């Protein structure tokens, strides 16, 4: 792969990882604390609606695109094995895939689906929201840090070539 393609792929991977880090950071630092200020039933209703609204072309392109770029970077790291940048590409790609995609699919999506089954006006709403909030937000911090670390490592891969 020519260096110009390597540069473009790695830069796009770094930007997409940074974008996902920003999405998760925004949820952890603004959205979830804002929801916590609402009564539990209102917070549940809002989260249920946001979960539906995020299934749009913009978010899905960023989410899936970052995974595709990371997967290509992982494969490409083996093609450049022995070069200093290869390890950065490998670790960055794995961090994004496991820290964003796998964690989202295996942890956050099931909790979001379970929250959709909660009656916001039901007697269990308060307890369910408090548990959901604490667990969901804690692991969302992990997604943000993993994606940020991925972006930094992709950038380090670019710097290693210079």
Tokens of 75: 């494969």
* pLDDT above 70 (res 162): no
Angle between helices 40-53 and 125-161 (to 10 degrees): 40
* Average of per-residue pLDDT across 114-140: 97
**Spans of all domains in the chain:** 3-161
* pLDDT above 90 (res 148): yes
Q: In the chain, pLDDT over 70 holds for what percent of residues?
A: 98
The rounded distance, in Å, linking the Cα atoms of 157 and 160 is 5
Q: Are 104 and 84 in contact (CB under 8 A)?
A: no
**Digit-coded pLDDT (tens) for 19-73:** 999 999 999 999 999 999 999 999 999 999 999 999 999 999 999 999 999 999 9
Please give the pLDDT value at position 160: 87
Tokens of 116: 């959709």
* pLDDT above 60 (res 157): yes
Q: What is the 3-state secondary structure (H, E, C) of the chain?
A: CCHHHHHHHHHHHHHHHHHHHHHHHHHHHHHHHHHHCCCHHHHHHHHHHHHHHCCCHHHHHHHHHHHHHHHHHHHHHHHCECEHHHHHHHHHHHHHHHHHHHHHHHHHHHHHHHHHCCCCCCCCHHHHHHHHHHHHHHHHHHHHHHHHHHHHHHHHHHHHHC
Q: At 80, is the pLDDT very low, low, confident or very high (cuts 50, 70, 90)?
A: confident
Say how many CA atoms lie within 13 Å of 109 toward its Cβ: 9
Please give the pLDDT value at position 61: 96
Please give the pLDDT value at position 42: 98
The rounded distance, in Å, linking the Cα atoms of 130 and 143 is 20
Please give the pLDDT value at position 88: 96
Q: At 105, is the pLDDT very low, low, confident or very high (cuts 50, 70, 90)?
A: very high
Please give the pLDDT value at position 107: 97
């Amino acid at each position: 792969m020519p260096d110009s393609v390597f540069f473009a792929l790695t830069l796009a991977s770094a930007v997409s990882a940074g974008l996902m880090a920003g999405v998760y950071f925004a949820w952890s630092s603004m959205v979830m604390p804002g929801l916590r200020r609402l009564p539990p039933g209102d917070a549940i209703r809002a989260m249920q609606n946001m979960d539906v609204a995020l299934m749009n072309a913009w978010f899905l392109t960023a989410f899936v695109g970052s995974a595709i770029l990371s997967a290509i970077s992982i494969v490409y790291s083996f093609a450049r094995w022995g070069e200093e940048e290869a390890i950065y590409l490998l670790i960055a790609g794995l961090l994004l895939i496991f820290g964003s995609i796998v964690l989202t699919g295996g942890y956050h999506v099931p909790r979001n689906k379970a929250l959709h089954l909660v009656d916001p006006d039901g007697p269990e709403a308060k307890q369910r929201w408090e548990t959901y909030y604490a667990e969901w937000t804690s692991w969302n911090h992990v997604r943000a840090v993993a994606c940020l670390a991925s972006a930094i490592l992709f950038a380090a891969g670019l710097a290693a070539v210079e």
